[in-house]
Amino acid sequence: MSQSITFQVQPGGSLRGEIRVPGDKSMSHRSIMLGSLAEGVTHVRGFLNAEDAMSTLEAFRAMGVKIEGPVNGEVTIHGVGKHGLQAPAQPLYLGNSGTSMRLLSGLLAGQSFDSVLTGDKSLESRPMRRVTAPLALMGAEIETQENGTAPLHIKGKGNLKGINYEMPIASAQVKSCLLLAGMYAEGDTVVTEPAPTRDHTERMLTGFGYPVKRDGSTATINNQGQLTATQIDVPSDISSAAFFLVGASIAPDSDVTLKHVGINPTRTGVIDILRLMGADIEVLNQRSVGGEPVADLRVRSSKLKGIDIPEHLVPLAIDEFPVLFVAAACAEGRTVLTGAKELRVKESDRIQVMADGLQILGVDAQPTEDGMVINGGAIGTGRVDSHGDHRIAMSFSIAGLRASGAITIDDCANVNTSFKEFKDLATQLGLKLSVI
């Protein structure tokens, strides 16, 4: 585990310049998983070299896959084929990464060997029944702790059967877990989601030549396909870009261009929400890269206003709410978020932890069961705790742009799980951020 790190941000300043934030975390995980199961050698560019994606990469190395890199974002995966993974000698430690654990649980339930998945304190307190329950319906045997958390002990029985599953929550991790298990199940695995969630798994399976049928909110897969090695170009992560979309919106005299950002419509809720609040965001040079839409995003300072966030945008911006709460704190009037209960079971309880920190900074932020009510106003000064959650740490750093004094943020080491370069890129643009 990384050592404890404290950030301190001095108040004020503007953000100006052009940067490229690191590769998309969701796609980086999936590129390793599918590349490992493919026939042939897959080359990945733009891979996210951060702890979460590395947890996935190391897990596949531990299952006998030869993976070179990452070097400058390039990874070469020598695929072992759908049935070529080897039993790991030890439990697979997945650090802080929910995506690794939930997607791997599906994939490993379909293998013919046993495996154990573990993680850090945060990951081992996150709910896993959302995946183990439907996997059990497919015939998987997975032992959890009494309260449904990891470590997960997965029996490799190799005889899964397809199910027709209506997901009770909108979760790309649950959907992806079941699609990966469905690659090993007899008959069709049919997954229906209650609202659109990120569809990188479906797109990437298609890119590897594996048939997945998509019909509205339903995706169907079976065990008849093969994955064929391919080239993957991972765009920049819109969830990392989001810190600067908000930062440049709230800080006066700002003008930032974020290059080569993935703008898959299942991920762009943050742009829609900020625009509804009055943000000035231009989407430039739209293009398609390896089956995923990409663009440069130019964002300039604007006067934000509070809004009622439309609930249909919640799953499309689920990881961006910590920093959107900072935008709301800087907006004129009231912002209301509802329908976002899922935020309570992320790396931290993102509703409570953000409300606590904002209140320490003098913001009128009231947590509710499934969201938050924030009355925009001044941001003060103080010491807040990120509770080891990367997105909380970066969000409070951005709040410094409009604070009246310094903000000290404890427990920031996990910024390395998704965005190691955050401090360097943020200071390059003008944020007065240091490690103390």
> Does 411 qualify as catalytic in the annotation?
no
Cα dihedral 24→396→12→330 (10° resolution): 90
Which are the contacts of 369, defined by CB distance < 8 A and separation ≥ 6? 341
Q: Which is the catalytic residue, given 272, 319, 385, 411?
A: 319
Query: In the complex, which residues of this chain contact ligand SPQ (CB under 6 A)?
Result: 25-26, 52, 97-99, 171-173, 176, 198, 318-319, 342, 346-347, 391, 418
The rounded distance, in Å, linking the Cα atoms of 131 and 102 is 7
Give the residue from 216, 394, 408, 384 showing the smallest Cα distance to 320. 394
Considering beta carbons, is residue 173 or 254 the nearer one to ligand SPQ? Answer: 173
Considering beta carbons, is residue 335 or 418 the nearer one to ligand SPQ? Answer: 418
The rounded distance, in Å, linking the Cα atoms of 109 and 4 is 35
Considering beta carbons, is residue 43 or 267 the nearer one to ligand SPQ? Answer: 267
CB 122 within 8 A of CB 388: yes
**Sole residue written with tokens 């200071």:** 427
For 33, how many CA atoms within 13 A lie in the half-sphere containing its CB?
30
Which residue type occupies 273? I
Closest distance of CB 420 from ligand SPQ, Å? 14
Considering beta carbons, is residue 65 or 318 the nearer one to ligand SPQ? Answer: 318
Is beta strand 334-337 parallel, antiparallel or unpaired with respect to 382-385? unpaired
Q: If DSSP codes are grouped into helix, strand and coil, which group holds residue 260?
A: strand
Considering beta carbons, is residue 43 or 346 the nearer one to ligand SPQ? Answer: 346
Closest distance of CB 354 from ligand SPQ, Å? 13
Closest distance of CB 346 from ligand SPQ, Å? 4
Closest distance of CB 334 from ligand SPQ, Å? 26
Closest distance of CB 380 from ligand SPQ, Å? 27
C-alpha triplet 238, 68, 78: angle, nearest 5°: 100
Query: Which residues belong to the active site?
Result: 319
